[in-house]
Amino acid sequence: MSVKITFTAPKPNPFNAFVGSTSPILQKAQFAACTGAAAPTCTDQNSMPIGTGAFKVTGFTVNDTVSMEANPNYRDPAKPAFASAVIKGGGDAEGSARAVMSTGEFDYAWNTQIPPDSQAAMAAEGKGVFVVAFGTLIERLEMNMTDPSAEWPEGERSTAKHPHPFLSDINVRKALSMAIDRQTLTEVGYGAGGAPSCNIVPAPALYASDNTGCLTQDIEGAKALLEAAGWVDTNGDGIREKDGKNLSILYQSTVNPIRQDFQALIKDWWTEIGVETELKAIDPSVFFGGDAGSPDTFQKFYADVEMYANNFDGTDPEAYLTQYKCDKAPSPENQWQGENMNRFCDPAYDAMVAELSGTRDVAKRAELAKKLNDMVTKDSFVVVPLVHRGTLSAHSNALGGVKINAWDSELWNVADWFRVK
Amino acid sequence: MLTFTLRRLLLALPTLLFISLIIFLLVDLAPGSPMSEIPLTVPPEVRKKMIEALGADQPVFVRYILWLRQFFWVEPANLIDGWFGLNLAGDEQRILSWQSRSPVFTVIGQRIPQTLTVIGTAYLLGIAIAMPIGIYSAYRQYSVFDQLGTLVAMIGFSVPTFFSGTLFIIVFAVWLHWFPTKYDTTLMVTDWPSFVLQIKQMAMPVMVLALANAAAISRYMRSSMLENMGQDYVRTARAKGMTERVVVLKHVLRNSLIPVVTVIALGIPSIFGGAIITENLFGVNGIGAALIGAIHANDLPMVQTLAFIFAVLIVVFNLIADVLYGLLDPRIRYE
């Protein structure tokens, strides 16, 4: 049996059909009446799809439990090793980790993002292990290239009409990046579940630029850079200024204990180099909500610096790097729905993205991707990557065969899992 | 009494409608949108289509009228269909949750058993503990028992459930391995061993909530009893030669129960919405957890429906409390 796929236009990277959990195969008979606008109404089909995986769903309660049993029609009669499986949802990361590592009630807990000292304490109990896999998730700072000042009317704030008074100066952006100690941030926030990074495309290795210049903190260098660029503290208030503009930053992120820790640390370092920093934390459902009427979304970016994490699906970064094109900037014209949060606009970048979309040779694509990555990171500092965040999960010592995978669902090889005797 | 009840019920209807409008507008005007739940890897054009498919981009009043119709006609019709096998509702669009695309009432139906079993039992247990403590504390005021009762009540009031819950988990689950930390909602009680398992998994959430409930009710019981212990009729009863047991448990208790029963009746709606933290901590999928999850995800239909149901429960139980008060206390006369 073979499947023929017809693409509507030339597609240099066709390798995302039928690969992984984001492109499943649906049974035609089951989903015949569920395509297009009818899709949201088919709750039974969506909750209990008939598929070719190792387990099939027998029960589904929303936000609570998925009950599964071994698929009798699975292609390998010897697998899976378990007759039934239960996924229990809800609760928090700490409770999930505890259920595996301390009480042994569950075999696998995913996304157990708990502080490093809790990780160490639980691992020491000896009932289970933490496993980590690194995908493409990067926690980063985006520098606003436009002016978010409230003195501009709505519709002109944070748009290309008014460039940013001081973040338009590359020396300021570079100094802000140099003042940050990414190693400390990673240790404080993620422990084994993170690694410092200077790239926005950290993986796969083929596309990862050789970019390690930002990994060492250099406070003195940052100060010298600002001095040389003319940002000096003339009135002794601890804040640098030039041409009447103070280096005063509004730094926003979401409500999240780890992000608040990062904000506090970065504020300290920036204050040291003479940049006044005000912190703001916004509820995630508002920040990521994209509500055109709210001033606190990350698209509106009514702040100077914002911090969040982003990644891309699959292994090809083309769609991800396309986000930083000039026309992708959120603005009133597109109801603030763009993806180019920092409003970076460079015709050379746009041209290179166009070149990438027409390039088929993988080695050439990798080269272009690395160049594009460098253009937004070490060449311009509009995006300041901080931590390469991995998926941290926990499994009990009695569960064997787990190979955590950051590129697919964590249950990708559940057919191979077995009970350790 | 009957005219009073009828009048209250009639007044309740416009009140509830007004409440539903306020809730709808508040949640709708609040910042945030269901788009925050869609991963960032989904491109903006697709996200726009998803929002359109939910019906989330329609104007406020259209959505409100639609919701009213769905709540008062389509959903009851579905309920009657389910009970009697009719087909009143047909293919009409039900109130769908934006998070899961399943009907809101299906989710409520999945969660009601756990809410009633765990949270309801905790409430009953809390009352069962609180009454004897309150009665004996009042009878032996300032004794060691009274002081201990006051201490336990203060602890129950002041210690938040996320603290007492976590403490219980560490003591009883991690150190002693007596109880599981996560509630298994698929457990079917069919025989003695499964019944024991059910008791075991209910033990900790029920203890946590019962402690909090008992604290409040025992104080009400105690103060009500104290008020009545000093009355003249108690002295008369004792003078008539009644035993202490009869005096306290028959005469004083009955009179003291009046305010306490009304407090208990007013507290019943909190079974449904008030145990959010405990439900999240122990993985009991109750209605409170559903509400908080829906609020975080800006799932407007779910928030609106649940909040309205709570409003109805509160109005109804307020009325029940008032009627009970009138029934229990012959001195009260409603016009």
- Which of the residues A45, A57, A64, A68 would you substitute to probe the B interface, choosing the one with the greatest number of B C-beta atoms within 10 Å? A64
Higher per-residue confidence, B85 vs A67: A67
Q: Cβ separation of A88 and B289 shorter than 8 Å?
A: no
Least confident of A28-32, A405-409, B164-168: A405-409
pTM: 0.82
Q: Average the pLDDT over A359-363 and give the result.
A: 89
Which one of B34, B40, B53 has the shortest CB-CB distance to A37?
B53
Tokens of A378: 């070490």
**Percent share of chain A, pLDDT over 70:** 100
Q: Which chain B residue has the Cα nearest residue A127?
A: B174
The model's pLDDT over A90-129, given as tens digits with 9 standing for 90+, comes to: 878 888 999 999 999 999 998 888 888 888 999 999 999 9
Which residues on neighbouring strands pair with residue A399, listed in sequence order? A419
Phi, psi of A288 (to 5 degrees): -95, 0
Positions in chain B short of pLDDT 50: none
The reply to whether B97 touches chain A by the CB within 8 Å rule is yes
- Burial code (b: 16+ CB inside 10 Å, e: under 16) for A5-30 equals eeeeeeebbeeeeeeeeeeeeeeeee
Residues of B whose CB is below 8 A from A311:
40-41
The reply to whether A45 touches chain B by the CB within 8 Å rule is no
Q: Which chain A residue has the Cα nearest residue B180?
A: A105
Which one of B53, B290, B297 has the shortest CB-CB distance to A285?
B297
The dihedral of CA A323, A329, A330, A335: what is its sign?
Answer: negative
The reply to whether A98 touches chain B by the CB within 8 Å rule is yes
Give dist(CA B14, CA B250) in Å, integer: 42
Q: Cβ separation of A99 and B285 shorter than 8 Å?
A: no
- Burial code (b: 16+ CB inside 10 Å, e: under 16) for A373-397 equals bbbbbbebbbbbbbbbbbbbbbbbe
Q: Cβ separation of A103 and B174 shorter than 8 Å?
A: yes
CA of B193 to nearest chain A CA: how many angstroms apart? Answer: 18
The reply to whether B49 touches chain A by the CB within 8 Å rule is no
Amino acid at B196: V
Which residues on neighbouring strands pair with residue A392, listed in sequence order? A132
Give dist(CA B36, CA B225) in Å, integer: 53
Q: Average the pLDDT over A23-41 and give the result.
A: 82
Instruction: Give CA A131 to chain center in angstroms.
Output: 19
CA of B225 to nearest chain A CA: how many angstroms apart? Answer: 41
Give dist(CA B198, CA B207) in Å, integer: 14
3-state SS record for chain B: CHHHHHHHHHHHHHHHHHHHHHHHHHHHHCCCCHHHHCCCCCCHHHHHHHHHHHCCCCCHHHHHHHHHHHHHHHHHHHHHHHHHCCCCCCCCCCCECCCCCCEHHHHHHHHHHHHHHHHHHHHHHHHHHHHHHHHHHHHCCCCHHHHHHHHHHHHHHHCCHHHHHHHHHHHHHHHCCCCCCCCCCCCCCCCHHHHHHHHHHHHHHHHHHHHHHHHHHHHHHHHHHHHHHCCHHHHHHHHCCCCHHHHHHHHHHHHHHHHHHHHHHHHCHHHHHCCHHHHHHHCCCCHHHHHHHHHHCCCHHHHHHHHHHHHHHHHHHHHHHHHHHHHHCCCCCCC
Phi, psi of A143 (to 5 degrees): -95, 130
Q: Cβ separation of B186 and A63 shorter than 8 Å?
A: no
CA of B28 to nearest chain A CA: how many angstroms apart? Answer: 11
The dihedral of CA A116, A408, A35, B91: what is its sign?
Answer: negative
Portion 174-213 of B in contact with A at CB < 8 A: 174, 177, 180-182, 184-186
Inter-chain contacts counted by CB atoms under 8 A, chains A and B: 127
Residues of A whose CB is below 8 A from B185:
61, 64-65
CA of A3 to nearest chain B CA: how many angstroms apart? Answer: 25
Single out the residue of A180, A112, A230, A223 nearest to residue A387, CA to CA: A180
Residues of A whose CB is below 8 A from B43:
319, 339
The reply to whether B108 touches chain A by the CB within 8 Å rule is no
Q: Average the pLDDT over A251-269 and give the result.
A: 94
The reply to whether B35 touches chain A by the CB within 8 Å rule is yes
Q: Cβ separation of B173 and A339 shorter than 8 Å?
A: no
The reply to whether A126 touches chain B by the CB within 8 Å rule is no
The reply to whether A409 touches chain B by the CB within 8 Å rule is no
CA of A260 to nearest chain B CA: how many angstroms apart? Answer: 19
Q: Cβ separation of A40 and B53 shorter than 8 Å?
A: yes
Portion 311-330 of A in contact with B at CB < 8 A: 311-313, 319
Average pLDDT, chain A: 90
The model's pLDDT over A284-340, given as tens digits with 9 standing for 90+, comes to: 888 988 888 888 999 999 999 999 999 988 888 998 999 999 999 999 988 888 899
Residues of A whose CB is below 8 A from B293:
63, 90
Which one of A37, A86, A338 has the shortest CB-CB distance to B186?
A86
Reply yes or no on whether the pLDDT at A64 is more than 90: no
Residues of B whose CB is below 8 A from A293:
31
Q: In this predicted structure, what is the pLDDT of residue B3? A: 86
Which one of A63, A86, A339 has the shortest CB-CB distance to B290?
A63
Q: Cβ separation of A313 and B47 shorter than 8 Å?
A: no
The reply to whether B281 touches chain A by the CB within 8 Å rule is yes
The reply to whether A288 touches chain B by the CB within 8 Å rule is yes
**Rg of the Cα atoms in chain A:** 24
The reply to whether B302 touches chain A by the CB within 8 Å rule is no
Q: In this predicted structure, what is the pLDDT of residue A257? A: 86
CA of A219 to nearest chain B CA: how many angstroms apart? Answer: 33
**Percent share of chain A, pLDDT over 90:** 63
Reply yes or no on whether the pLDDT at A40 is more than 80: no
Reply yes or no on whether the pLDDT at A81 is more than 80: yes
Q: In this predicted structure, what is the pLDDT of residue B335? A: 58
Which one of A98, A102, A294 has the shortest CB-CB distance to B31?
A294
Pairing of the two strands A128-143 and A305-310 = antiparallel
Residues of B whose CB is below 8 A from A294:
31-32
Q: What is the ipTM of this complex?
A: 0.80
